[in-house]
Amino acid sequence: MKITWLGHSTYRIEVEEAVLLIDPWLHGNPMFPQDRIDEAIAGVTHILVTHAHGDHASGVLEFAQKTGAMIATVHELAEWFERQGAENVMGFGRGGTIDCGGAAVTMVAASHSSSVDYLGGDPIVAGSANGFMIAGEGEVIYVSGDTDLMADMEWMGDYHKPTIGILCCGGRYTMDMKRAAYAARRYFRFKTVIPCHYLTYPILAQSADDLRAGVPIGTQVIEPKVLEPITF
């Protein structure tokens, strides 16, 4: 299994027979080198979208067209992508599990808003914001999406037992480093935590020091480097 950060909340996850692209925002992403987009999307089989905001979903249609990858997201946003011309789309809902090349992807709750906000004009409400549990190769990855702390994390941790947490923790629009550490400490038993939704702009956290200081002893915090795969 390989997990590769592409800046902000965009991740490439190679697991089982799938290459998953999570929340693709590459054009205009200040963390991502614009001359390496083709490399980042090479071989992608599925595009998973947590919610509709532009810093998570603005690249979905382009990259789906270029790669032929299936778009998988909450029902309402899936229908919106289909209306924009996407042909390979699967909508599902919280508690639903789909097969992505042998990896089992389950949609779980997140505490955040969701709207198409990057086309100009009034935002278009596009279903709920969500996260994913991705099970494969003996690991379960929790992709939090944009969220704050929430009581649902208790049963999510107990039921899915994720071993790797990709947690938003930049503050301002999501939980911050201390709140993410609290979640890891109270609700989960991660072996590894990888931060996201930070560093992108000065208003977001610029270091994961508070996360590292707050997770349980024995939990590894890996601050990812863009386009440098983390192998499990």
In angstroms, rounded to a whole number, what is the distance separating the alpha carbons of residues 78 and 204? Answer: 29
pLDDT tens digit sequence for 8-66 = 999 999 999 999 999 999 999 999 999 999 999 999 999 999 999 999 999 999 999 99
Cβ atoms of residues 140 and 162 within 8 Å? yes
pLDDT tens digit sequence for 161-174 = 999 999 999 999 99
The whole-number pLDDT of residue 71 equals: 98
pTM score of the predicted model: 0.98
In angstroms, rounded to a whole number, what is the distance separating the alpha carbons of residues 132 and 171? Answer: 20
Cβ atoms of residues 144 and 110 within 8 Å? yes
- The domain spans of the chain are 2-226
pLDDT tens digit sequence for 172-229 = 999 999 999 999 999 999 999 999 999 999 999 999 999 999 999 999 999 999 999 9
Q: Which CATH class is domain 2-226?
A: alpha beta
- Band of the pLDDT at 151, cuts 50, 70, 90? very high
Considering the chain, what percentage of its residues have pLDDT values greater than 90?
98
